Amino acid sequence: MDDLCASQSVGLIATVHPVAMDVFRRLGINYFCDGTARLDELCVALGLEPQDVLREIQTREGGLKTPLPRWDQRSLGELIDHILERFHSTLLRDLKVLELKALLLPRCHTVPGETAADLAFVLAELREESWYHLEKEEQQLFPWLRSGQGSTAGMMLHVMHLEHRTEGRLWMRIRVLTHHYRVPDGADDLTRSLWQGLEALEASHQEHMHLENNVLAPRAIQDG
């Protein structure tokens, strides 16, 4: 843990110290799409003290009974398989379930009707964007990388980054609509389930984008 320093990029820190993902998520540090940014620079923008962030990462890492997986230490093929099995296989299904719950919100009278409608609309947009994005990765990018041609995949990887930013903006709209997943007073079980499901799925999606942006892309170029 002595290798941690505030001048490192947040993507590198999250890669070498995976427990940092939870810390960054709680503090609002965008490690998944802004992975090349230095921790100290992002902390200045957010009004955070970099050394406090590093200490929290060290404390959490020191309290682990077993280390979290380091996907930068696995083969490119293993990483792609993990992304497909852990994230691609469930993302669209989970988004559909949450979208259907959002469509039922007006019956619960715990959130304004326009908020419920906006939330369902954004989830539908995110599901459509994700479907298009996953199809390109599974049908084009991943087979290309598996063939050992990562050094020629620059444009495809650039498009991947851009689409991740689009998805990130949609998640930001969801956070605004849900007041950062703060469950409304007197909320019913459906609303609680929806808010909790959205928060959990966003956390999973952030890790998904991190692995592709900060681990897969550099590794593909290096190995290719």
Q: Is the confidence at residue 70, as pLDDT, over 90?
A: yes
Give the model confidence (pLDDT) of 102-142 as tens digits.
999 988 777 888 889 999 999 999 999 999 999 999 999 99
Contact call for residues 14 and 35 (beta carbons, < 8 A): yes
DSSP 168-202: HHHHHHHHHHTTTT-PPTT--HHHHHHHHHHHHHH
Global model pTM greater than 0.85: yes
If we measure between CA atoms, which residue out of 6, 56, 10 comes closest to residue 29? 10
> What pLDDT sits at residue 196?
97
Q: At 198, list the tokens.
A: 């959205």
> What's the average model confidence in pLDDT over 199-224?
94
Confidence (pLDDT) at 224: 63
pLDDT, tens digit, 9 for 90 and up, residues 5-57: 999 999 999 999 999 999 999 999 999 999 999 999 999 999 999 999 999 99
Terminal alpha carbon distance of the chain: 30
**8 Å CB contact between 42 and 10:** yes
Provide the β-strand partners of residue 38.
Answer: 9
Domain boundaries, the chain: 10-62, 73-223
Sign of the CA dihedral 58, 61, 65, 71?
negative
Cβ atoms of residues 28 and 181 within 8 Å? no
Give the residue among 209, 222, 223 at the shortest CA–CA distance from 86: 209
The per-residue pLDDT for 113 is 84
pLDDT classification of 2: cutoffs 50, 70, 90:
low
Q: Is the pLDDT of residue 85 over 60?
A: yes
pLDDT in tens, 152-189: 999 999 999 999 999 999 999 999 999 999 998 889 99
Rounded Cα–Cα distance for residues 85 and 95 (Å): 16
